[in-house]
Amino acid sequence: MRTRANRVRNLLRTATAALLVVGLAACGSGSGSSGNEDGDALAEGAPINLGLLTSLSGGYSSGFVRAEKGVKARLELENAKGGVNGHKLTFTTADDTSTPDGAAKAVRKLTQQDKVFGIIDASPVFYGAAPLTKQAGIPVSGASFDGSPAWLDDSYTNLFDAYGYGDPDKAFTTYGKFFKSQGATKVAALGNVSPSSAASAAGVVISAEKAGLQRGYLNTKLQPGTTDVGPIVLAIKNSKSDAVYMAVPPATAFAVIAGLRQAGVTLKSSVLATGYGGALLQSEAAVAVGQGINFGSAFTPIEANTPQTKAFQEALVKYAGDTAPPDFGAYVGWVTADLFIHGLKQAGDEISQKSFIENTRKSTWDGAGMAKPTDFSNITHSTPGLGPDGCVNILKLTGKKFVPIEGASPICGEEIPGVDPLP
């Protein structure tokens, strides 16, 4: 008879394989060239080709495999309405390979070879390419979870954030409030080498202390996608932490959870910053390992059944052939595409990169109806791991469903003054 430890190990192997393999799926979408050089307006009725930057390979890919689906669904929904001012929307995907150098190479290809009009950024390593987009004067709708300082630099007028303009130098009371409500007394946190992941993990420990909880084990140096977590598990156990927050790819987080269970550690609460959605539910082994784990989402979860989340799901099925519940990657793809469409509509009858940037900077975007609106003329900052205004939705995996936690979907916090998560 197999021991409990063997069962956990076998489940982990299968779950990890599922989470890693799904991240290797990659297919290009769209074609053509619609860049407008020197700020010239697009020709009447010309298609607008956008570039999607995301992780199709490498350590981060398990969290972004469905970003293409989200982008395709949102663009095709707009095309079904006639496009934007008679312009149909297409896109070309470029793989950042989960590295900053890969992101820079991908952006060079999109801007110099594919001649895209603008970039939809669903990349955790966008910081490696941000200066190139500024140099090219190309509009970008993206998500600041990569932690690039460019998102906080007023000279980067071409960048528009769908994710709350996360400032890694800020911490909020949000997660401290949540862990305290779950009965935790000591909170551990894990991040990896990306600036946003590290800041998110460190900020949660600060938030816990602000709530009167103890600081547990903190590690912000994990390699993306690693499942070699034995020393991490031992450190969490030895720290006597009874809650853990993980701003790491799902494969790493699941390895940690399985290791803690095998080591006999009982947690009051655990939260994964990514992993919410259909990719997990498609793997029976991942569902087994994930029971009782909490997942964060910066955007309104589909379980809320709002008109916006219903439209999102219906478009994924109709235009992207994606019947699984959306995950983090699909959400990011959808909302960043929605933001770019908003910008195109602000650009006027004669759409150019210049008019897009200038007019969108004066506008307010509605958050795709799934996050608080963003006024681009008066930007306020959140922090990595949280959406606009320091809010997040937290759901627990129960059976084969994500169940919103009462009082925490959403849960919001306030900025903690005088702290720096990563001094």
| Segment 351-387, tens digit of pLDDT | 999 999 999 999 999 999 999 899 999 998 888 888 8
How much of the chain, in percent, has pLDDT values that exceed 90? Answer: 72
| Count of all residues that appear for the chain in the document | 423
Sequence-distant contacts of 134-142: CB under 8 A, at least 24 apart = 134/158, 134/159, 136/111, 137/39, 137/353, 137/354, 137/357, 138/35, 138/111, 138/353, 139/340, 139/343, 139/353, 139/356, 139/357, 139/360, 141/336, 141/337, 141/339, 141/340, 141/343, 142/336
CA distance 341 to 89: 9
pLDDT exceeds 70 at position 106: yes
Question: What is the number of other CB atoms lying within 10 angstroms of the CB of residue 310?
Answer: 12
- CB-based burial, 74-94: b 16+ in 10 Å, e otherwise: bbbbbbeeebbbebbbbbbbb
CA-wise closest residue to 174 among 409, 367, 418: 409
CA 392/CA 199 separation, integer angstroms: 16
Find the distance separating the first CA and the last CA of the chain, reported in whole Å. Answer: 51
**Mean pLDDT in residue range 236-263:** 95
Domain with CATH 3.40.50.2300 in the chain: 4-19+169-303+390-412, 24-168+304-375
181-190, 211-220, 378-387 — which is least confidently predicted? Answer: 378-387
Complete DSSP assignment for 366-384: -GGGSS--EETTS---B-T
- On the question of pLDDT at 12 being above 80, the answer is no
Mean pLDDT of all residues in 255-278? 94
* Rounded-to-integer distance, Cα 188 and Cα 238, Å: 11
For residue 15, pLDDT over 80 is answered with no
CB 217 within 8 A of CB 235: yes
pTM of the model: 0.80
pLDDT of residue 20: 39
Distance (Å, whole) CA 111 – CA 133: 8
For residue 24, pLDDT beyond 50:
no
Of 3.40.50.2300, 1.10.357.140, 3.40.50.1820, 2.40.50.140, which CATH number belongs to 24-168+304-375?
A: 3.40.50.2300
Third-level CATH fold of 4-19+169-303+390-412: Rossmann fold (3.40.50)
- Determine the Cα–Cα distance for residues 388 and 335; give it in Å rounded to an integer: 13
